[in-house]
A = this chain, B = another copy of it.
Amino acid sequence: MPLAFPTEVTVVEMLPRDGLQRLDRFVPTEEKIRIIDALSQTGVSEIEVTSFTHPTAVPNLRDAAAVTAGITRQPGVTYRALVPNVIGLERAIEADIEKVNALITASEEYNRRNQNMTIEENLDEIIEVIERGHEAGLVVEAGIGMAFFSPYEGRTPPERTLAIVESVVDAGVDEVTLATSMGMANPKQVAGLVESVFTRWPDVDLGMHLHDTNGMSLANTVVAMQLGVERFDASVCGLGGGVILPKSMEDIGNTPTEDLVYMLSEMGIETGVDFEELTSVAADVMDSLDVRPNSHVLKGGTREQVLRETSES
């Protein structure tokens, strides 16, 4: 039986939040606004623009309100923000954000260090975010970090992640996203967990947030797509990673958006993203943030670029 892939996929751009939070410096507000506005022109359907967290927890994103106030919102683009709790949600509502990513992790230790709550306390908080968010007319997604592996406890037992999915689904969450926050999931584990989720909740709107530490994020994407996942987070230049993880872990970035969009486009899967626009934003990000991209396509080029290069050689 031929392998089945979707015809359309939603790409969510994470650079402004996941990409900038762990950077070794604060990116000025105007610079953030300029990058988000450029991303808004690429055809991407959704952008996570910032995080409404305590300024001392994520100092790089302490200007969340100023950023959301300053950007030019394009029709057709969903602007979402991460919120770790109800206080963050209230700030997001004030900032006129239409969708929030309510964060919880499946790692007790990471949750304690990052959110200063037990999983249980965090779940109570997230359920309140879902209820209060819905009252305020927001779309609420639950992003489940460390869904596959925790840098403190190792392999995450599937039951633990499934129990969190159950709680947020029961609370009426709009979307669920499984995150490989350490980038240490493999295609078999991804397939297993995604199958379990769809078996129990066939109608859940399930997305993936993949980091690429082990180089398997595109492979993980492909198996998730085969099982029906049609929403993927990614970050321009592959920037990203949790703030509290050791600084020595340099290669824990998200799936580079360029690589994801290029693969999907080569596979004939529609994303709405203009690849040329996207790589021009990526080039600008490399320059202005002075980062080396983790993406393959920015280094090795596209088929078209290769053909051009050989025709000149």
CB < 8 Å neighbour of A219 from B154, B218, B245, B303: B218
A187 contacts B263, CB within 8 Å? yes
Q: Does A13 contact B (CB under 8 A)?
A: no
A303 contacts B184, CB within 8 Å? yes
Q: Does A310 contact B (CB under 8 A)?
A: yes
Contacts of A184 in B (CB 8 A): 303, 306
Q: Does A166 contact B (CB under 8 A)?
A: no
Given contacts A219-B222, A306-B184, contact A300 B268 (CB under 8 A): no
**Stretch among A65-73, A90-98, A209-217, A270-278 lining the B interface:** A209-217
Copies of this chain in its oligomeric complex: 2
Contacts of A183 in B (CB 8 A): 300
Q: Does A313 contact B (CB under 8 A)?
A: yes
Given contacts A151-B306, A195-B2, contact A251 B216 (CB under 8 A): no
Residue of chain B at shortest CB distance from A259 = B215
Given contacts A188-B5, A300-B183, contact A309 B246 (CB under 8 A): yes
Chain A positions 145-163 with a Cβ under 8 Å from a chain B Cβ: 149, 151-152, 154-155
Contacts of A3 in B (CB 8 A): 191, 195, 223, 226-227
Chain A's interface size range is 35 or more
**Stretch among A17-25, A44-52, A133-141, A291-299 lining the B interface:** A291-299
Q: What 1/0 mask marks residues of chain A from 277 to 305 whose CB sits below 8 Å from any chain B CB?
A: 00000000000000000011101111100
Q: How far is the CA of A266 from the CA of B215 in the complex (A)?
A: 13
Q: How far is the CA of A48 from the CA of B127 in the complex (A)?
A: 57
Q: How far is the CA of A250 from the CA of B215 in the complex (A)?
A: 19
Q: Does A115 contact B (CB under 8 A)?
A: no
Q: Does A60 contact B (CB under 8 A)?
A: no
B186 contacts A266, CB within 8 Å? yes
Q: How far is the CA of A149 from the CA of B213 in the complex (A)?
A: 28
A302 → chain B closest CB, angstroms: 8
A263 → chain B closest CB, angstroms: 6
Residue of chain B at shortest CB distance from A152 = B310
**Would you list the 5 A-B pairs with minimal beta carbon distance, nearest first?**
A215-B296, A213-B300, A188-B267, A186-B266, A251-B300
Jot down 18 A-B pairs with beta carbons below 8 A, ordered by A.
A2-B191, A2-B192, A151-B310, A152-B311, A186-B266, A187-B263, A188-B266, A213-B300, A213-B301, A215-B259, A215-B263, A215-B296, A216-B263, A218-B219, A219-B221, A222-B222, A246-B310, A251-B296
